Amino acid sequence: MSLSVYDETNIFARIIRGEIPCNKVDECDHTLTFHDISPRAPIHVLVIPKGPYVSLEHFADAASAEEQIAYFAAISRVAKMLNVSEDGYRLTSNTGHNGFQEVFHLHVHLMAGEHLGPVRLPKQS
């Protein structure tokens, strides 16, 4: 999958269009935040732009300044809404095959609600 060619049939595009329901947390003109269906932490939401962006690089290159500002503002707003700003949270965005990206629509996982431990990187051989 090219990291700049967007597939309009991906699950997040279908959620944005209302074809698939989600457990919505927050929405604005440019973003949608909803609970992950397979949570890895007590609080685990996905923050996605509504535009057709595959990765953070694609978003940085192709999204308008208004979309970019709205996306990062949504992440901050949701952290405050979920009351996780003080204790902390983790943001993760997987990109491409080596980054284990499963849905090729830019999304950030916001995880919190417990001590998540260190990020464990694979040992180098």
Domain membership flag for residue 45: yes
Catalytic center residues: 107
User: How much is the pLDDT for 119?
Assistant: 83
Q: Whole-prediction pTM value?
A: 0.92
Domain membership flag for residue 118: no
Of 107, 59, 109, 55, give the one whose Cα is nearest residue 82: 109
CATH number of the domain enclosing 45? 3.30.428.10
User: How much is the pLDDT for 50?
Assistant: 98
Kindly state the tokens that stand for 74.
């949504």
DSSP letters, 56-116, are: HHHHHHHS-HHHHHHHHHHHHHHHHHTT-TTT--EEE---TTTTT--SSS--EEEEESS--
User: How much is the pLDDT for 121?
Assistant: 74
Q: Which domain holds residue 61?
A: 11-112
User: How much is the pLDDT for 120?
Assistant: 79
Domain membership flag for residue 19: yes
User: How much is the pLDDT for 125?
Assistant: 62
Domains identified in the chain, total number: 1
Domain membership flag for residue 3: no
Domain membership flag for residue 43: yes
User: How much is the pLDDT for 69?
Assistant: 98
Domain membership flag for residue 124: no
Handedness of CA 87, 33, 38, 106 (dihedral sign): negative
- What are the per-10-residue average pLDDT scores of the chain (125 residues)? 82 98 98 97 98 97 98 98 96 94 97 91 70
User: How much is the pLDDT for 1?
Assistant: 56
Kindly state the tokens that stand for 14.
């279908």
